Chains A and B, each alone.
Chain A
Amino acid sequence: MAEINYTAVVAKDLEDLIPVFISNRTKEVDLLRTAAGAGDYEQLSQIGHRMKGVGNSYGFAPISDFGKLIEDNAKKSDKAAIDGVIGAYVEYLSRVRIVYE
């Protein structure tokens, strides 16, 4: 299967904030995995809700999409679906290329 390359177009004036933003996403993945392992759907729902708000604001629309999926699946307590979304999120973070405009 061909690798998908993601591009995030970020406003130039946000450039200084991006290193911390990306670092926080990595921590977020750890929190998601921990919460999923513990079956803590309340925590998963809150993290998903937060991702939904912040992703698109910075120009990372897929992060908002992943957040919405995690929040929706947490409400259904669907662990398998959540694990799948976390995996996709991890892959996105490892492949995303940031372009400042």
Chain B
Amino acid sequence: MSEEQSFRVLVVDDDPDMAAFLALLLKKEGMRTDIVQDGDSALVRVMSDPPDLILLDVMLPGITGFEICQRLKSEEATALIPIVLITGLEDQQSRIRGIESGADDFLSKPVKREELVARVKTLRRLHETRKELESRRLAAEVERKEAIRKTFSRYISPRLADRIIGDTGQSSDIFAKAQRSQVVAMFADLRGFTSLTERTEVGRVVEMLNEYFSILSEAAYRYEATIFNMAGDALLVGFNVPFPQDKPAERAYHCAREMLTRFAPIAAQWEAEQGIGTGVGIGICMGEAVIGNVGSPHYMSYTIIGNPVNSAARLMQLAQPYEVLVCDEVYKCLRDIVPAAQIEARGDVTLRGRTDPIKVYNVKVPLPEATAARA
């Protein structure tokens, strides 16, 4: 099919001779034409197979051309299709009604072929310019979203990035303004890393760290956490931010569990390779925190600040390899989903930097036997 013939015109006229006449003239101009003879068929055809232009008779059996025009122009999917109303009614009132119904142009019967061709060609040019502009706008929009996605994907899961990109409402403010909200903060830290760096060739250390962080960040993304910081061998992620989430403490627990179980075989491999035991210690705490961009005009970081973050960091420091230590608030969310035998109360603990003690629990994660023995 040639480019010319790709322009499709729907002729709507109950007079077969008039419809055949119009179709013939348009075919001579290299356009494809379809003919329907009543309003209902026209609406069905336009909805199922939208043309590039509609030549629409006003006097039709059933729904009039005015009504069809009005309906199509009020639908988002069809509003931009140019419509030429063809009428024998030459009085001003009919033209006004046509304009009110949204018609793009008019032709009077008897139709003069030169006039028909000129009007259709003009509308075709306008339509194609509009389509070109629309496709450029869409391409720019896709580019913009891709840029945002790339930027966001360092912090958040692809699904969360899609939600932010797709939401034209409050999401635009999420990274621009600081917010205070209930969060679940989780710190994870690689144990044995210092010994590993001392005894292992630097290139291999980087490979190992990448492997370790890949496992942790994949688990974080699976549970739609936001990654706030990756420093040395520690990772800070948050749940319930930047959007509220269903059961954020449970998400954090499942995320921690996946981190430990997926890391266990890697640690075994490293131990066999380097002779050094490693493990991951995790601390989870929940409460109110401030989330936002912090820094200077030269360097800014999207981060999370507050007591739950500090407490999670201290719990992580206390945690032994493959331990998940949680505060009382997180424990209360987990006690119904984790068997009691897997929860060990550690009593009241005064964390470094805090004056009041907090209740601490070790939520045990079922691990492969060999890993559990090493832990």
B349 on the interface (CB 8 Å rule)?
no
With A13-B28, A53-B109 known as contacts, the answer to whether A46 contacts B59 (CB < 8 A) is: yes
Per-position contact with B for A50-67: 1 when CB-CB < 8 Å, else 0? 101111111000001000
Other-chain contact of A54, B21, B59, B113 (Cβ < 8 Å): B21
Residues 33 to 62 of chain B near chain A (Cβ within 8 Å):
59
Given known A-B contacts A13-B24, A49-B59, A56 and B17 have beta carbons under 8 A apart: no
Chain A interface (Cβ < 8 Å from any Cβ of B): 11, 13-14, 17, 20-21, 24, 46, 49-50, 52-58, 64
Partner of B109, one of A13, A14, A52: A52
For chain B, which range describes its interface: under 10, 10 to 19, 20 to 34, or 35 or more residues? 10 to 19
Tell me the B residues contacting A by CB distance below 8 Å: 15-18, 20-21, 24, 28, 59, 88, 109-111, 113
A to B CB contacts below 8 Å, 29 in the list: A13-B24, A14-B24, A17-B17, A17-B20, A17-B21, A17-B24, A20-B17, A24-B16, A24-B17, A49-B59, A50-B15, A52-B88, A52-B109, A52-B110, A53-B18, A53-B88, A53-B109, A54-B17, A54-B18, A54-B21, A54-B109, A54-B110, A55-B110, A56-B109, A56-B110, A57-B18, A57-B109, A57-B111, A58-B17
- Given contacts A13-B28, A46-B59, A64-B110, are A53 and B20 in contact (CB under 8 A)? no
Residues of A within 8 A of B20 (CB): 17, 20
Contact A58–B24 (Cβ < 8 Å) = no
Interchain pairs with CB closer than 8 A, number = 47
Are A53 and B110 CB-contacts (below 8 A) given A14-B21, A17-B21, A58-B21? Answer: yes
Chain B residues, Cβ within 8 Å of A49: 59, 88
**A63 — nearest CB in chain B belongs to which residue?**
B110
Q: State in angstroms the CA–CA spacing of A13 and B109 once bound together.
A: 19
- B residues less than 8 Å from A54 (CB atoms): 15, 17-18, 21, 109-110
How far does the alpha carbon of A11 sit from the alpha carbon of B110 in the complex, in Å?
15
Alpha-carbon separation in the docked complex, A21 to B17 (Å) = 6
* Cα-based distance from A49 to B17 in the complex (angstroms): 14
Residues on A with beta carbons closer than 8 Å to the beta carbon of B21: 14, 17, 54, 57-58
A46 to B15, CA, bound (A): 11
Q: Do residues B110 and A57 form an inter-chain contact, with CB atoms below 8 A?
A: yes
Partner of A53 from the list B15, B28, B113 (CB cut-off 8 Å) is: B15
Residues on A with beta carbons closer than 8 Å to the beta carbon of B111: 53, 57
When distances are taken between beta carbons in the complex, the residues of chain A under 8 Å from B16 are 20, 24
Give the Cβ gap from B111 to chain A, nearest Cβ, in Å.
Answer: 5
Assembly CA distance A11 to B28 (angstroms): 13
Q: Which residue of A55, A57, A64 has the most chain B CB atoms within 10 A of its CB atom? A: A57
Minimum C-beta distance from B249 to chain A (A) = 74
